[in-house]
Amino acid sequence: MIDEINEDLKFAMKNKQNAKVTVLRGLKSVIGNAEISKRDKLTNQEIIQLIRKQVSQREDSIKQFIEGGRADLATKEEFEISMLEKYLPDDMSDEALESIIDLILSDYTNPTKKDMGKIIKSVIDSVDGKADNKRISIMVAKKVN
The structure's pTM equals 0.74
Give the number of other Cβ atoms within 10 Å of residue 103's Cβ.
12
pLDDT of residue 145: 67
Residue 35 to residues 30, 31, 43, 54, 84, Cα–Cα distance (Å): 9, 6, 10, 16, 19
What is the average pLDDT across 77-91? 92
The predicted-structure confidence for 8-64, as pLDDT tens digits, reads as follows 999 999 999 999 999 999 999 999 999 999 999 998 888 988 998 999 999 999 999
Residue 83 to residues 39, 62, 77, 139, Cα–Cα distance (Å): 27, 15, 10, 28
